[in-house]
């Protein structure tokens, strides 16, 4: 083979390799998280419908979904068969970690652009699941059907109940993405969010006669703050309470009870900042993750709030898997210290921008 011929062959091989790589990259599936953040036009695409079909396969007969599953991951035929066999097992259907809510939001977008009846049917079944899961007093458990243990508590943790209420509020208001919902279900959704609002107002913790914020979970009967996992004690939640306040501020024409709840919660956040501190990531090759999280002095730092505040002292508490309250992050075990969010600028944007804007619009 001549030198010129060799160069032509090499160039052709390189071009083929580059083209193959580009094709592979273009065909790479989106993650479930990314699939939920596309432009509206994308939801009519073949890829959007492929993922929506996965969502249908993962939906259980009671209308709910399990949590922590990448719905966008391609399913093998054997995988689909196994999931179809498990459809009648509802023990893990939940609203935790965005489960059921995220699937319904996705199906709403796909139906809005495709008008395919199978997506509408699955969406309505999911709405029925959320409506059925609500307690008579207006709260929602983390899992439905009810599971023993902390799963049965009214759950604000990880935005569970608030996520449901935001979705049902959009359904009740005939949001353009959810115009597939019939009048009966819209009315039921309105009633559900009204009862949910009553629960929010009743569960706002009162200490020494003054309203504060909320616990991450409340007893389904007494509405009192309760424990969840060993490191999630009954407490005031500096994280979960932020989205509760945001939900209340989104309500049109708020009544005096809602305004009072917001004002008291915001005042509490203002009075319970952790100031002059910063969380620093310190490299340490000897540790399991190669770093540690350390709270250091930093006068110019933005304010922080603790994930948990003691119900009596209203001071930050840090709790590891032993369930013992401690006063500082450094005092709990390494695994929890770097594996869970105990401090953050949780209420920063709420106080700086969102609340002033809401207040000005009253």
Let me know: does 309 contact 216? Beta carbons within 8 Å: no
Q: Which of 50, 97, 137, 227 is catalytic?
A: 97
Give Cβ neighbours of residue 293 (< 8 Å, ≥ 6 apart). 279, 280, 281, 282, 329, 337, 338
Residue 185 annotated as catalytic:
no
Pull the structure tokens for residue 113: 């652009």
CA distance to 61, 193, 242, 359, per residue, from 266 (Å): 42, 22, 9, 11
Residue 166 annotated as catalytic:
no
Tell me how far apart the alpha carbons of residues 281 and 292 are, in angstroms, rounded to a whole number.
6
Q: Which residues pair with 218 in a beta bridge?
A: 154, 225
Tell me how far apart the alpha carbons of residues 45 and 36 are, in angstroms, rounded to a whole number.
13
**Residue 354 carries which DSSP code?**
I
Helix%, strand%, coil% for the chain, nearest 5: 50, 10, 40
Q: Which of 229, 326, 336, 337 is catalytic?
A: 229
Tell me how far apart the alpha carbons of residues 98 and 90 are, in angstroms, rounded to a whole number.
17
Nearest to 347 by CA among 266, 235, 259: 266
Residues with a catalytic annotation lie at 97, 229
């Amino acid at each position: 083979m001549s030198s010129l011929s060799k160069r032509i062959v090499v160039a052709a091989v390189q071009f083929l390799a580059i083209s193959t790589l580009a094709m592979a990259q273009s065909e790479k599936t989106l993650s479930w998280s990314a699939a939920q953040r596309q432009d509206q036009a994308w939801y009519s695409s073949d890829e959007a419908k492929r993922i929506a079909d996965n969502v249908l396969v993962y939906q259980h007969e009671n209308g709910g979904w399990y949590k922590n599953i990448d719905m966008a991951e391609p399913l093998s035929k054997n995988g689909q068969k196994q999931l179809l066999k498990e459809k009648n097992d509802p023990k893990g259907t939940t609203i935790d970690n965005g489960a059921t809510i995220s699937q319904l939001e996705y199906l709403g977008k796909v139906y809005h652009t495709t008008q395919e009846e199978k997506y509408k049917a699955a969406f309505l079944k999911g709405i029925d699941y959320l409506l059925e899961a609500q307690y008579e007093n207006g709260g929602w458990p983390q899992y439905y059907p009810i599971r023993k243990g902390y799963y049965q508590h009214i759950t604000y943790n990880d935005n569970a109940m608030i996520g449901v209420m935001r979705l049902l509020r959009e359904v009740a208001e005939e949001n353009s993405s959810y115009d597939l919902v019939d009048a009966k279900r819209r009315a039921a959704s309105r009633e559900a969010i009204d009862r949910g609002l009553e629960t929010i107002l009743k569960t706002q913790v009162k200490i020494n006669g003054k309203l504060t914020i909320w616990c991450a979970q409340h007893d389904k009967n007494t509405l009192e703050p309760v424990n969840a996992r060993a490191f999630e004690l009954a407490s005031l939640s500096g994280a979960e309470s932020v989205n509760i306040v945001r939900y209340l501020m989104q309500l049109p024409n708020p009544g005096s009870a809602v305004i009072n709840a917001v004002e008291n919660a915001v005042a509490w956040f203002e009075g319970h900042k952790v100031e002059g501190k910063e969380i620093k990531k310190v490299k340490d090759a000897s540790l399991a993750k190669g770093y540690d999280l350390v709270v250091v002095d930093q006068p110019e730092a933005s304010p922080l709030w603790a994930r948990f505040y003691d119900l009596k002292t209203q001071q930050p508490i840090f709790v590891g898997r032993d369930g013992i309250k401690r006063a500082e992050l450094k005092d709990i075990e390494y695994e929890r210290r770097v594996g869970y969010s105990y401090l953050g600028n949780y209420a920063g944007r709420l106080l700086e921008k969102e609340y002033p804007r809401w207040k000005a619009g009253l």
